[in-house]
Amino acid sequence: MRRIKLFAIFLSIFLFIAVNGYTNIVLKVVGISSSKTKVQKIVLKSYLPKEITPEDIIDKDDLDLLYDTQQSAYYVYGEYDLSPGESVEREVEMKDIWGISEARIVSLQAEADKTVELLKGTSFAERALFLRDSIKEKLDKIVQREKIAALNPQRHISDYRSNVELLETAQKDLILARSFLSQVSSLPPVAIWKVFFVVIGILFLLSIILYLSWYRQSMVVKTSTNSIAEHAFDPSSVEAKENNNIGENENEEDN
């Protein structure tokens, strides 16, 4: 008995479409029965780009959405009974998430410029400048790729992945440049010496003021003490006091 092997022709095609002014990406899945005499069960199965999540899927017709843990990616799946020569076509519409925002590029460039500014006048200034230029070169490449429209979705996704790799490299350069900040003082050496001498001068001036204040107070106390002592042991004062006492006694006797 001759065995006839039946098989289905299965195609996956990516397409760009515009919906409400925004560009989405459509995965078109096509299955064709290869049998000319029998009804044939065919399976449509197509993996989605790894960046796609269920929230990014706008429409998937009657296909099921499943996740492959080994591939770390979602895929669509469907089974259909096709008559001889019959075909089935399904579409999966997805958001175009394959782009790097301009705000992210501008923010990274600004951070690189700020780091170079903070490291001016330090031993790391030249290396920081080199890293900043390297970051700028990578970001410029990303911007250029973003501006040029890809001929097809596959190329569009491929360019995005290359841009992500460039962006990650630029971020590593920025982390390295910012690590220099922890290796230098917040002030340059000249400024540190200026601050040191200013502090010493203020402390010296404060010491003089405190000493003069103490000296003045000690002189006032000393003068006051001497005055009291002189008044307490003044001979004329003692003699006058004794004469007063004698006079009082004589008056008492006369009476």
Q: DSSP characters for 113-138?
A: HHHHHHTTTSTTHHHHHHHHHHHHHH
Q: What is the mean pLDDT of residues 118-140?
A: 94
Q: What is the mean pLDDT of residues 226-246?
A: 54
The segment with the largest mean pLDDT, out of 82-91, 144-153, 184-193, 237-246, is 82-91
pLDDT of residue 5: 33
Considering only CA atoms, give the Rg of the chain: 47
Query: Which residue's entry shows tokens 């490291």?
Result: 119
Who's near 120: CB < 8 A, 6+ residues apart?
none
Q: Is the pLDDT of residue 158 over 80?
A: yes
Nearest CA-CA partner of 131 in 118, 113, 144: 113
Who's near 39: CB < 8 A, 6+ residues apart?
81, 82, 83, 84
- Range from 21-35, 41-55, 119-133, 134-148 carrying the lowest mean pLDDT: 21-35
Query: Contact 174/139 with Cβ under 8 angstroms?
Result: no
- Range from 84-88, 188-192, 216-220 carrying the lowest mean pLDDT: 188-192
Q: Is the pLDDT of residue 93 over 90?
A: yes
Q: What is the mean pLDDT of residues 146-175?
A: 91
Q: Which residue has the higher pLDDT, 141 or 252?
A: 141
Q: Is the pLDDT of residue 241 over 70?
A: no
| In the chain, alpha helices (H) | 102-118, 125-147, 153-179, 189-232, 235-254
Integer Cα distance of 192 and 199 in angstroms: 11
Residue 1 pLDDT grade (very low, low, confident, very high; cuts 50, 70, 90): very low
Residue 211 pLDDT grade (very low, low, confident, very high; cuts 50, 70, 90): confident
- Return the structure tokens found at 184: 């230098």
Integer Cα distance of 14 and 103 in angstroms: 28
Which SS3 state, helix, strand or coil, does residue 188 take?
coil
Q: What is the pLDDT of residues 40-92, one digit of tens each?
A: 999 999 999 999 999 999 999 999 999 999 999 999 999 999 999 899 999 99
Query: Contact 74/65 with Cβ under 8 angstroms?
Result: yes
Residue 8 pLDDT grade (very low, low, confident, very high; cuts 50, 70, 90): very low
pLDDT of residue 79: 95
pLDDT of residue 154: 87
Which SS3 state, helix, strand or coil, does residue 99 take?
coil
Integer Cα distance of 47 and 66 in angstroms: 9
C-alpha 46: how far from its chain's center? Answer: 38
Query: Which residue's entry shows tokens 């970001």?
Result: 139
Q: Is the pLDDT of residue 206 over 80?
A: no
Q: Is the pLDDT of residue 146 over 90?
A: no
pLDDT of residue 89: 93
- Range from 22-31, 55-64, 116-125 carrying the lowest mean pLDDT: 22-31
Q: Which residue has the higher pLDDT, 22 or 71?
A: 71
